[in-house]
Amino acid sequence: MSEIKVLYVDDDPITRTLLGKILEKHPRVYESLEARDGQEALRILNKNPDIDLVLLDIIMPKVDGIELLKFMKKDPRFSHIPVVVFSTDDTQKIQAIEAGANDFINKPITEGVIAEKIEKYGSL
C-alpha cells in the first residue's frame, strides 16, 4: 500500500484539529494539508497537484464544499482525486454525491471512519 497526501477542508477549527491529529497518526498518510474554506483549498490544490484524497466539509463560508467539489470534477487536474464529504446535515448527501463526491460521512467524525475512507480511497 502506498503512502498518500491528504487535503482536509473545514471552517471549524475543532474539526480541523481533530482531522489533523487523526491523519498524523495514520500510517499511510505521509503529509496532510488543511484549509479553512473552499477558496483556501483551491489555492492549496493549485500548489499541490500530488494530493491523493480530499476530506471536505459542505457548509463553509466563501466557497462551500459543493462549489469546490463541482469545480474539482470539471477541472482535469483535479477530477481524478477522490473526495469524501462530511456534514451534520444528512439531507446534503444526495447533493454531494450528485456533484461528484465519492462518499459521505455524517459528523461527528471518528478516527475509525476516517481510517476506513483512507483505506478505501487512498489508492484510487
Chain centroid to Cα 97, Å, comes to 13
Range from 8-17, 67-76, 90-99 carrying the lowest mean pLDDT:
90-99
At residue 1, does pLDDT exceed 80? no
**What mean pLDDT value characterizes the chain?**
94
Work out whether the CA dihedral 92, 11, 27, 42 comes out positive or negative.
Answer: positive
Neighbours of 4 (CB within 10 A): 22
Q: Report angle CA 22, 69, 50 to the nearest 5 degrees.
A: 60
Topology of domain 4-121, CATH: Rossmann fold (3.40.50)
pLDDT of residue 89: 83
- pLDDT tens sequence across 49-87: 999 999 999 999 889 999 999 999 999 999 999 999 999
Chain centroid to Cα 73, Å, comes to 13
- pLDDT tens sequence across 29-56: 999 999 999 999 999 999 999 999 999 9
Percent with pLDDT over 90 in the chain: 87
Q: How far apart are CA 4 and CA 120, in angstroms?
A: 12
Average pLDDT over residues 88-110: 92
Please provide residue 80's backbone torsions phi and psi, each rounded to the nearest 5 degrees. Answer: -85, -15
Side-chain half-sphere CA neighbours of 34 within 13 A: 16
- In the chain, where the domains are located: 4-121
